[in-house]
Chains A and B, each alone.
Chain A
Amino acid sequence: MTATSEPEAALGVLPRADGSAKYSHAGYTVTAAVNGPIEAQRKDENPYEAHVDVIVRPAAGVGGTRERHLESILQSSLSHIILIKNFPRSLIQIVLQVEDSPENDYVNTKLVQGNLNFAIMPALFQTAVLALLSAGVPMRATATATAVAVVFHDGVKRTVVDPSPREIEIARSVHVLAFTSHDELLLAESEGDFIVKEWDEVYETAKKICCHSAPADDGMQMALDEEAAAGPDMRHFLRSTMESKVAADLYWK
């Protein structure tokens, strides 16, 4: 099953963009390009801060209202972590192209869908953060995101991390949470039918995935063993991706 696979990422995949990243996890593959700070259009110009422009392009067809909503969510979250005050009157443009998304074999997929797609949000978010890092855009903190679904199956409640489209369909509630590297809750989107207690459990699960403290060099082996059961450690993944990219870039020295 794709959902249990480890995330994969490559940085600097597009030669002409200031920064770019390709990320795939849980069946989703997203490529992002970041350009900025560049000159802003007159209408977007803000005398105090940079305008962050997020464009989401779906795998097929043109973006509709759903993509606009995803863009507005990403825009407000990313503007918070980018140091936008450093670049007044300029624009930081983030283009996210969805390349692949998992299909649900149980329903006919419609090309234009109005309802929210929660499972894709972490992939978009993670790719955007990686591309921003690759572009060297100054940021207050990095951020990690994950999707969690609460599924009732035969009367038993289960918490599913990175749910598949089928699991989302049968899920009682679906949640997307993002945390900054200071362990602060940056984004919380939930839908379905749940109570505060369930949300607390989801919060704990998501926090464990997003904010697992990066293991120290000597304790690396031990930490890796523990993680195997807990799901992917997003912060460590972000860090190791950046480390390997830097190591590859500085190889000539």
Chain B
Amino acid sequence: MATISSAVGEDQPPQPSLTFTRPVFAKLSPHPYLLHTLSPSDPSVPSSRTNGRKPQEARKIQINTSSLSQAHGSALVRTGDTTVICGVRGEILPVSSIPQFRADQHKNYNYDGEDKRIEQGKKELLEYDLLVPNIELATGCAPQFLPGVPPTTLAQTVSTRVYSLLHSAGIVDVEGLRVWYTPAKRDEDKMEEDDREEEELEPEVKGYWVLYIDLLFVSFDGNPFDAAWTAVMAALRDTKLPNARWDPDREMVVCEKGEGKRLDVRGLPVACSAAVFLEKEHAEDREGDRHWILLDPDRQEEGLCKEVITAVVDCSGGQGETKIRSLEKQGGTVLGRELIRGFVGVAEERWKEVAAEMPQ
């Protein structure tokens, strides 16, 4: 220590000391430091985390949309030092390229009621792979991710979770992705009776929009899923697909110039994550151990916590009980039934914060 102090400046007398400054202590032994700030010896000091937040305080979220000019929809989401950019780009998938495509499958269910229609739509999205999310973490966004290496387990896990939630929550209506074509009347048909023409002129699906949803982490400071999911939601709500129509002469789908129709997005699920911080770092026996639930953990806290929980809730339905879209808890046994129930309430609060920031 003495040699380090002497290097600071010639004018100051060297101050040999055995105590560390706060940032040094936090870097060297993060667990005792976080424990100390969470349970201060002085009762008048409120319990806080290393990053200055209260245990149940999330970082403020900022959402910017339409920042990418080449994408059909995009969003930049920032929570603290976690920044993620999401671009949605649509590409046409002609039905002739879909193996085992059955045209009759899509005709009748409009009469079967809304639930059945949504169910069928979900199946269609899944079967034809119309939503393709991809997550890139190796951008130098954090020291632990080396650029130019194959996707890490974390990147693959987050991408599976986003993919799974996109499909299970059914937020994209497949109707918005279909390209319909109604065959035009031919001249000789004009002579025939009306009812026969009606039968012939049934519209058919000629193609689909495939949405490539690319997520890029610009900087990474913990809680990747919440930020990634918010970015996906904001980008999808921002997406405008050009008007596409089937050209029977060229036998291909052609798009009109200019801005098209806004994509129909159902509901607003919001993800809320927390990590459980335990009092003893290396103890096997957890009996009587204190614990803290840290909402929206940053990178350092994620390294110290093993048990994590993520709840995806949707309160956009208005009155009635909150709908839970997904609940994931793993890595420990602290969060039991009561705590998980309580956590859903915390997630509802987070929903209000994020929904307020979400551009309309």
Contacts and interface: CB of A to CB of B under 8 A. Distances in A.
Interface of A: 48, 65-66, 68-69, 71-73, 76-77, 79-80, 83, 85, 107-108, 114-116, 140, 169-170, 180, 182, 184-197, 199-200, 203
24 contacts: A65-B157, A65-B160, A68-B156, A68-B160, A69-B156, A71-B153, A76-B331, A77-B331, A80-B306, A80-B333, A114-B160, A115-B168, A116-B161, A140-B284, A169-B123, A186-B332, A187-B329, A188-B328, A188-B330, A191-B326, A195-B321, A196-B321, A199-B340, A200-B337
B160 A66 contact: yes
B79 interface: no
B166 to A, nearest CB: 9
B127 A107 contact: yes
Contacts of A196: 321-322, 324, 341, 344
Given A140-B284, A189-B329, 5 more contacts: A69-B161, A77-B330, A188-B329, A197-B321, A199-B340
Nearest to A204: B337
Contacts of B308: 76
B258 interface: no
Interface string B246-273: 0000000000000000000000000000
Contacts, number: 112
A51 to B, nearest CB: 13
Given A115-B163, A185-B337, A80 B332 contact: yes
A202 to B, nearest CB: 10
Contacts of B159: 65
A186 B344 CA distance: 18
Interface of B: 100, 119, 123, 126-127, 153, 156-157, 159-161, 163-165, 167-169, 282, 284, 306-308, 321-333, 335-337, 340-341, 344
A47 B48 CA distance: 29
6 closest Cβ contacts across the A-B interface? A184-B333, A76-B331, A68-B156, A69-B160, A190-B327, A65-B156
A118 to B, nearest CB: 10
Contact of A190 (B284, B306, B328): B328
A194 B159 CA distance: 23
A209 to B, nearest CB: 16
Nearest to A118: B164
Given A185-B336, A191-B165, A116 B119 contact: no
A66 B157 CA distance: 7
B160 A85 contact: no
Contacts of B325: 191-193
Contacts of A197: 321
A72 B306 CA distance: 12
A115 B330 contact: no
B331 A170 contact: no
Contacts of B123: 107, 169
Contacts of A188: 327-330, 340
Nearest to B336: A185
Nearest to A107: B127
A194 B325 CA distance: 7
Contact of B333 (A108, A169, A186, A193): A186
A72 B152 CA distance: 11
B114 to A, nearest CB: 14
A189 B310 CA distance: 9
B333 A199 contact: no
A204 to B, nearest CB: 9
B170 to A, nearest CB: 8
B324 A73 contact: no
B337 A116 contact: no
